[in-house]
């Protein structure tokens, strides 16, 4: 959550909830300053002790509005001005999170399978759930029968016996048979959803803190996006460059750990074109939650065209600002971490940027890839993704503009 501190002399003014105030802005004013103003919008909740007031974001391209949070002074009533220390933070809006990020980062569900392997896993889950409900129903029926039929009616104690061997054998064998059945279904699902690979990986995914590096057998390289042809089962090698990660695209298959020094593999296939969101499913550090990956499934013809473009050298531009950006990239520390074909090959500490402008997101899903968001990222990457390994190199606004112009040509 991005926080804007307001000093102890700040005053948060909340308009009464009248019909007119629904379209009036809220504002935070500080003596001697113009204060911080929220975008006009509907007040969603009334102010109560320890409550907050939220102003929803609206309008394309407008920045996320702040939410004002402040404690109501003791001994007051109604909705007076709230004085004292306070914080201002963003309110999530439709399609956004609390940082205003508009990126397709919501994971799918394994209950909506889009590949043969994922469908087998979903079927196993459904079968197991049915068995569990049947057992639950049986237990409820037996307990209900015992309560209603054998409750104490005030008569003599029932006759005692030493047990019933047939009944004891039955209730011992029944759970064993149920477990054996579930075991059989599980073994069958494992064999069908993740058979032993019959060839070398078609592509390799290398997990880093906190992004994904992708290498194709053809030599194509990308980051945080996997392109695959629909209807084709691919063998995906999974590795790690630092700590233990876990590769998981719920709609397309099982999870698999990425362990440093070891190579694993998984099958990946999509039935229909679309973008499927995956994530790291093993806690790997401070930005674990923002280590997303997109699997873009497209027709075989579209995939072949994408692979051909990706294998080509980086585009060049004759625009002065783009040329200045290319020169800055080669002269500054960028080339120590990032590779661009024709301008700094060999570096792999950070994502390959050869066709950067074709990607949909920045920072492994933390922001959408647009000139505006890219400029914010270059200005202060630690503000957008705290803890990431990209340092703040103190770029000037003209340098940022040149970098943005250059990166936008990398298609």
pLDDT per residue as tens digits for the range 103-126: 445 778 888 899 999 999 999 999
Distance from first CA to last CA of the chain, Å, rounded?
33
Residue that has been written with the tokens 């065209």 in this structure: 305
Assigned CATH class of 103-148+166-309: mainly beta
- pLDDT for res 318: 85
What's the token pair of residue 266?
A: 């998984």
Q: Any residues with CB less than 8 A from the CB of 152 and at least 6 apart, and which?
A: none
- pLDDT for res 300: 94
Q: What is the Cα–Cα distance from 212 to 223, expressed in whole angstroms?
A: 6
Buried b (16+ CB within 10 A) or exposed e, 149-163: eeeeeeeeeeeeeee
Q: What is the Cα–Cα distance from 317 to 365, expressed in whole angstroms?
A: 27
Same fold, 103-148+166-309 and 320-407: yes
Residues 39, 53 contacting (CB under 8 angstroms): no
Kindly list the averaged pLDDT for each block of 10 residues, start to end, along the chain of length 411: 36 37 37 37 36 38 41 40 35 42 64 91 94 95 91 80 86 93 93 89 94 93 93 94 94 93 93 92 92 94 93 84 88 84 70 89 89 91 90 88 90 83
Residues 229, 306 contacting (CB under 8 angstroms): no
Q: Any residues with CB less than 8 A from the CB of 314 and at least 6 apart, and which?
A: 340, 341, 342, 343, 354, 355, 410
Q: Any residues with CB less than 8 A from the CB of 27 and at least 6 apart, and which?
A: 13, 35, 36, 37, 38
Residue that has been written with the tokens 């004891």 in this structure: 168
- pLDDT for res 161: 78
- DSSP characters for 345-400? TT--SS---TTGGG-SEETTTTEE--HHHHHHHHH-HHHHSTT-S-------HHHH
Percent of the chain at pLDDT exceeding 90: 43
With residue 89 as reference, give the H or E element that holds it: strand 86-90
For domain 320-407, say whether CATH 3.90.1200.10 is its number. no
Q: Where are the domains of the chain?
A: 1-100, 103-148+166-309, 320-407
Whole-angstrom CA distances from 251 to 73, 118, 125, 291 are: 50, 6, 14, 17
- In 3-state terms, what secondary structure has residue 266? strand
Residue that has been written with the tokens 């922001």 in this structure: 367
Residues 185, 124 contacting (CB under 8 angstroms): yes
Residues 73, 41 contacting (CB under 8 angstroms): no
HSE on the CB side for 142, CA within 13 Å? Answer: 7
Which one, of 84, 367, 33, 58, lies nearest residue 68 by Cα?
A: 84
Between helices 320-331 and 397-407, what is the axis angle to 10°? Answer: 100
Q: What is the Cα–Cα distance from 306 to 148, expressed in whole angstroms?
A: 69
């Amino acid at each position: 959550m991005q926080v804007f501190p307001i000093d102890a002399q700040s005053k948060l003014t909340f308009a009464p909830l009248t019909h007119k105030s629904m379209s009036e802005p809220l504002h935070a004013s500080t003596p001697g300053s113009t204060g911080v103003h929220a975008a006009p919008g509907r007040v969603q909740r009334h102010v109560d002790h320890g409550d907050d007031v939220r102003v929803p974001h609206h309008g394309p391209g407008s920045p996320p509005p702040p939410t004002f949070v402040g404690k109501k002074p003791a001994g007051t009533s109604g909705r007076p001005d709230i004085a004292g220390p306070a914080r201002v933070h963003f309110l999530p809006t439709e399609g956004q999170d609390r940082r205003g990020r508009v990126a397709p980062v919501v994971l799918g569900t394994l209950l909506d399978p889009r590949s043969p392997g994922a469908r087998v896993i979903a079927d196993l889950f459904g079968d197991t759930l049915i068995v569990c409900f049947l057992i639950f129903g049986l237990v409820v029926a037996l307990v209900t029968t015992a309560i209603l039929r054998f409750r104490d009616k005030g008569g003599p104690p029932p006759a005692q016996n030493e047990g019933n061997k047939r009944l004891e054998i039955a209730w011992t064998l029944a759970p064993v048979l149920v477990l054996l059945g579930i075991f059989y279904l599980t073994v069958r699902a494992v064999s069908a959803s993740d058979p032993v690979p019959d060839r070398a990986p078609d592509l390799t995914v290398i997990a880093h803190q906190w992004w994904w590096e992708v290498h194709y057998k053809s030599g194509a390289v990308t980051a945080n996006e996997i392109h695959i042809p629909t209807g084709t089962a691919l063998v995906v090698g999974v590795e790690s460059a630092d700590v233990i990660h876990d590769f998981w695209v719920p709609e397309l298959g099982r999870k698999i750990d990425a362990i440093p020094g070891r190579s694993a593999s998984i099958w990946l296939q999509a039935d229909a074109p679309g973008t499927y969101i995956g994530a790291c499913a093993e806690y790997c550090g401070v930005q674990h939650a923002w280590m997303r990956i997109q699997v873009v499934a497209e027709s075989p013809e579209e995939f072949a065209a994408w692979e051909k473009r990706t294998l080509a050298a980086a585009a060049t531009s004759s625009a002065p600002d783009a040329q200045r950006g290319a020169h800055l990239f080669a002269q500054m520390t960028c080339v120590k971490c990032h590779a661009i074909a024709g301008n700094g090959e060999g570096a792999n500490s950070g994502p390959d940027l050869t066709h950067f402008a074709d990607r949909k997101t920045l920072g492994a899903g933390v922001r959408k890839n647009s000139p505006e968001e890219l400029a914010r990222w270059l200005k202060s990457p630690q503000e957008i993704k705290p803890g990431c390994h990209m340092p703040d190199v103190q770029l000037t606004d003209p340098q940022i503009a040149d970098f943005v112009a250059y990166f936008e040509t990398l298609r």
